[in-house]
Amino acid sequence: MSPVRALLICCLGIMLYTQAAGAERQVVLVAAATSPLHDLDSLELRKIYLGFPVTRDGKIVRGLRNTEDEDLNRIFLQTIVAMSEKAYRRRLLSLPLRQGIPRPDKYNNPEHLLEALSRDPYSVTYMWKDAADHSADIKTLKVIWQQD
C-alpha cells in the first residue's frame, strides 16, 4: 500500500469517526414488534410512568424503566415524567400505598428489558435509538428526545 493511499484511508476513517461522534443522539419510545400499540402522546406517556392507568383495547399499558445508563435516566426524568429524581421516587413510593398500583419495573440489563417487552405486548419502554435499531423484536413508536 502506497503512503498516499494509507493517508487517504486514515483521513476517511477520521471523517467517518467525526461524523459518528457528532451524530444526533435520540431516545425513542419502543414496544414489542408484535405489540398492537401504535402511538402514545406525551400526556399518556407521563400518566403511564406516574402510575395512572392508560388503556388500549381494554388493557392497561405498562411502562418499563430502562436504567442501563445514567444519561438515559436523566432524560427520562426531564422529558417524560418532568420531575426531579427525588420527587419521582416519592411519587413511586406513594403509588402502591395510595392507589394500589405496582411501580414500573426497572431494568438495567437490555436483554432482560427486551424479554419483558416481548412477554407483554401492552408494555412500552424507552432506549437509545441506536439500540432500538439493532433489535428486530421491537418497534419504535416515537422519538421522545433528541440531542441538539
Partner 1 sequence: MATGLNTFAARVILIGLVIHAVLLPLLFYGLLHIVKESHEERFVNDVRKYSRFVADAFEMEDAVSNERQAMRLLDSAVLGSGGVYAELLEGETWLRSGLSPPDPADVYAEDFAFGQHGDDIYFLSIPLDIPDRQLLLRMGFDEQPTIEQVKTARQRLTLVLLLYLFVSIIALVLLSTLITQPLRALQTASRNIARGDHSVKLRVDSQLAEIRELATDLESMRRELVGMNASLLEEISERKAADKLREVAENKLRQAQKMETVGVLAGGIAHEFNNILVPIFLYTEQALYDLPAESPLRVHLERVLKSANRAKSLVQQILTFSRQSGPQEFVPVDVKPVVEEALDLLRALLPATVQLHEDLTTVDCWALADRDQIHQLVVNLCSNAYQSLDETGGSIGVILDRCTVDTQFCRDHPNLRVGGYIRLSIHDTGHGIAHGDLDRIFEPFYTTRAVGKGTGLGLSVVHGLAVSHSGDITVESEPGKGTTFHVYLPEIGTGSSIRNPLRTGS
At closest approach, how far in Å is the CB of 112 from partner 1? 25
Sign of the dihedral defined by the CA atoms of residues 58, 63, 64, 66, in that order: positive
**Binding segment for partner 1 among 36-44, 51-59, 60-68, 122-130 (CB under 8 A)?**
36-44
Touching partner 1, residues 45-84 (CB under 8 A): 46, 71, 74-75, 77-79, 82-84
- What is the C-alpha separation between 47 and 81, in angstroms, rounded? 8
At closest approach, how far in Å is the CB of 105 from partner 1? 23
Are 75 and 45 in contact, with CB atoms under 8 Å apart?
Answer: no
- What is the C-alpha separation between 52 and 17, in angstroms, rounded? 43
The residues of the shown chain that bind partner 1, judged by CB under 8 A, are 41-43, 46, 71, 74-75, 77-79, 82-87, 142-148
